[in-house]
């Protein structure tokens, strides 16, 4: 996949539009941030990209291949070369870290030994090999994040979809995980789609961004330009706070 394209994507819940004719493109190698307030439709957008939810209207395309069309998921999530880290991580609580990663690979039909090797290598790369036999409930927030990251990266995705990945972490852990994500994405040549309500996280990881408000794209382009010029409330507030910090 070199280019993912969303064309006029709308999603409705109870006849209320949650996404309204959203268009966006993700080019491999250019990390995209989706910035918006709580409730603006960010998680829904990621689920549509991942193939976990069909659009009510519009198309999801990879190059020229249609992945989703209105009411239908044509290409299943495990066949999209994408992986997602969910807002609540979504680790299976009754499985240890290793089993979580292994089960994440089940859609790929790897040989047993290959799945085992890949699981071990990915846990190591994410710095949690020593936690392989611990249940998620016994891990700290940062450790759980790393396991969730390992589960996503083990499928060797082209696109890694991160839903508010740093929320709820203390500042030091947040910084550690941010650096890890930067490093892992670079090493594995994974392109990121980062959903966040925090433009500073976006600035650390992403080159381009879209700003979502009430299900509509109200700004798009290079992130630096959006930080300087976007009149959307979330970016204007961020700019004002930054100016305050400097003065
Ligand atoms: P965000 O991730 O930006 O906070 P979401 O995509 O989670 O926003 O949700 C956008 C809107 O859609 C919210 O108003 C939310 O209540 C609504 N919504 C999300 N999922 C569902 C669902 N399964 N059923 C009904 N409404 C939903
Ligand atoms: Mg969300």
pLDDT at 1 (0 to 100): 56
Q: For 158-162, what is the mean pLDDT?
A: 96
% pLDDT > 70, the chain: 100
For residue 164, give the ligand 1 atom closest to its CA. 2
Tell me the C-alpha distance between 19 and 125, whole Å.
36
Mean pLDDT of the chain: 93
pLDDT band for position 168 (cuts 50, 70, 90)? confident
Q: For 16-22, what is the mean pLDDT?
A: 96
% pLDDT > 90, the chain: 79
Tell me the C-alpha distance between 59 and 67, whole Å.
8
How do the domains of the chain map onto residue ranges? 2-246
pTM of the model: 0.93
User: Ligand 1 centroid to 189 CA: how many Å?
Assistant: 31
Residues 198-223: tens digit of each pLDDT: 999 999 999 999 999 999 999 999 99
| SS3 at position 123 | helix
* Class of CATH domain 2-246: alpha beta
Element (H or E) spanning 44, and its range?
helix 42-50
User: Ligand 1 centroid to 18 CA: how many Å?
Assistant: 7
Q: For 75-85, what is the mean pLDDT?
A: 93
Beta-sheet pairing, 32-36 with 65-69: unpaired
Q: For 165-178, what is the mean pLDDT?
A: 87
Tell me the C-alpha distance between 227 and 225, whole Å.
5
User: Ligand 1 centroid to 39 CA: how many Å?
Assistant: 6
- 199 vs 35, 41, 211, 238, 239, CA distance in Å? 7, 16, 10, 7, 9
- Which residues surround the ion ligand 2 when the cut-off is CB under 5 Å? 42-43
């Amino acid at each position: 996949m070199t280019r993912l394209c969303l064309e006029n994507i709308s999603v409705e819940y109870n006849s209320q539009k949650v996404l309204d004719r959203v268009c966006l493109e993700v080019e491999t190698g250019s990390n995209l941030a989706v910035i918006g307030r709580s409730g603006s439709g960010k998680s829904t957008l990621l689920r549509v990209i991942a193939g976990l939810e069909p659009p009510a209207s519009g198309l999801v395309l990879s190059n020229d291949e249609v992945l989703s069309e209105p009411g239908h998921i044509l290409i299943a999530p495990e066949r999209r070369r994408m992986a997602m880290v969910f807002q609540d991580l979504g680790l299976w609580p009754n499985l240890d870290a290793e089993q979580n990663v292994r089960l994440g690979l089940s859609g790929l039909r790897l040989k047993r030994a290959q799945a085992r090797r890949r699981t071990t290598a990915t846990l190591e790369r994410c710095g949690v090999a020593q936690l392989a036999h611990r249940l998620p409930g016994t891990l700290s927030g940062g450790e759980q994040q790393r396991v969730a990251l390992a589960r996503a990266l083990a499928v060797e995705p082209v696109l890694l979809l991160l839903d508010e990945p740093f929320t709820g972490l203390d500042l030091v852990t947040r910084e550690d995980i941010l650096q890890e994500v930067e490093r892992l994405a670079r090493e594995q040549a994974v392109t990121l789609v980062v959903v966040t309500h925090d433009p500073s996280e976006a600035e650390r990881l992403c080159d381009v961004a879209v700003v979502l408000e009430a299900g509509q794209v109200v700004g798009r382009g290079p992130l630096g330009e959006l930080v300087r010029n976007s009149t959307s409330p979330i970016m204007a507030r961020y700019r004002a706070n930054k100016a305050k910090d400097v003065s």
